[in-house]
Amino acid sequence: MNTTANQIREGMIEAITTQIETNNPAISRATFERLQQNGFDSNEAKRLMANVLAHEMFMINTHNQDYDPNRYAALMEQLPRLPS
Could you report the per-residue pLDDT of 72-84, keeping only the tens digit for each?
Answer: 999 999 999 998 8
Helix pair angle (26-37, 3-22), 10° resolution: 100
pTM: 0.92
* Helical pair 42-62 and 69-78, crossing angle rounded to 10 deg: 140
Q: How many helices (H) and strands (E) are present in the chain, helices listed first?
A: 4, 0
Per the CB < 8 A criterion, the answer to whether 74 and 26 are in contact is no
User: Model confidence over 14-53: pLDDT tens digits?
Assistant: 999 999 999 999 999 999 999 999 999 999 999 999 999 9
Burial of 70 (0-12, 13-18, 19+ CB in 10 A): exposed
Question: In this model, does residue 1 exceed pLDDT 70?
Answer: no
